[in-house]
Amino acid sequence: MKAFNFLEVVVMLLIERIVVGPLMSNVYLVFDNITEEGILIDAGDDPDKIIKIIEKNNVEVKRVYLTHGHFDHVLAIRELKDYLECRFYIHQDDLPILERAAESCKKLLGRECSNPPSPDGYVKDGDEITIGENKIKVLHTPGHTPGSVSYLTDDSVFTGDTLFAGAIGRHDFPGGSLDQLLNSLNKLLSLPDNYSVYPGHGPSTTIGVEKIYNPFIGLRGLYRESKKR
Ligand SMILES: [Zn+2]
Ligand SMILES: [Zn+2]
């Protein structure tokens, strides 16, 4: 019989969802339950709210990883960098979108926002991020934007605005592509059915549930498309 290994049993990633800003964007605090080392996935808005939840969980956050460069996922980055002294990362292909965040925010929300600072580094497909004893893999999932990425743990995936519970990301913004989006969705839907999905907006779901019930995916998606023609 295998010896009982206390650490092997209890080391895991904990996930806390923080809903921020007028577009109800999700920010995820992902942290190792033993070392209390963590990262943020996205930094949409409301830095004070995000910081409060980081402190409540007693987590040390030194890195922020963005799923893409749209303003509703990046507006808190400057304040978070100042307060936490953290670094932040994005896929290079979304740099032009990130650089226009303030302009898009003004246009869509009518609010004065400052542009985020330059990223401290870039993520690319296949990169591995270490959090304590855990690893997260970067999957390039373009289509919603050219540099959209998903972040993959052992049993869950953070999909940004590529896949939602019951919906898929828009591809009609500048830099969007339906073909790329469909490819990326195929990549995500080939993950095991029991994988949890944590999207950039709205509630979490699983790969298995989306395969069956998402009206834009699989046979129902094809049927919908065929009726449009
Ligand atoms: Zn977006
Ligand atoms: Zn969004």
Which ligand approaches the C-alpha of residue 148 most closely? 1
Ligand 1 midpoint to CA 35 (Å): 32
Q: If DSSP codes are grouped into helix, strand and coil, which group holds residue 151?
A: strand
* pLDDT at residue 133, rounded to an integer: 86
* pLDDT at residue 220, rounded to an integer: 66
pLDDT tens digit sequence for 162-192 = 999 999 999 999 899 999 999 999 999 999 9
Ligand 2 midpoint to CA 50 (Å): 17
Contact 43, 66 (CB under 8 A): yes
pLDDT band with cut points at 50, 70 and 90 for residue 9? low
Alpha carbon dihedral 43, 46, 49, 53, in 10-degree steps, equals 0
Which ligand approaches the C-alpha of residue 75 most closely? 2
Written as one letter, the residue type at 2 is K
Percent of the chain with pLDDT over 70: 92
Ligand 2 midpoint to CA 100 (Å): 15
Q: Where are the domains of the chain?
A: 6-228
Contact 152, 126 (CB under 8 A): no
pLDDT band with cut points at 50, 70 and 90 for residue 144? very high
Task: Name beta bridge partners: 89.
Answer: 65, 121
Tell me which residue has tokens 């709210």: 49
Q: In terms of CATH, what superfamily is 6-228?
A: Ribonuclease Z/Hydroxyacylglutathione hydrolase-like (3.60.15.10)
Strand order in the sheet with 60-65: 13-20, 25-32, 37-41, 60-65, 87-91, 121-123
Ligand 1 midpoint to CA 8 (Å): 37
Sign of CA pseudo-dihedral 62, 65, 26, 213: negative
Max distance between CA atoms of the chain, in angstroms, equals 64
Ligand 2 midpoint to CA 66 (Å): 11
Contact 136, 115 (CB under 8 A): no
* pLDDT at residue 217, rounded to an integer: 85
Q: Which of 40, 46, 85 is nearest to 67 (CA)?
A: 40
pLDDT tens digit sequence for 54-99 = 999 999 999 999 999 999 999 999 999 999 999 999 999 999 999 9
pLDDT tens digit sequence for 27-44 = 999 999 999 999 999 999
Which ligand approaches the C-alpha of residue 68 most closely? 1
What is the pTM assigned to this prediction? 0.93
Ligand 1 midpoint to CA 73 (Å): 7
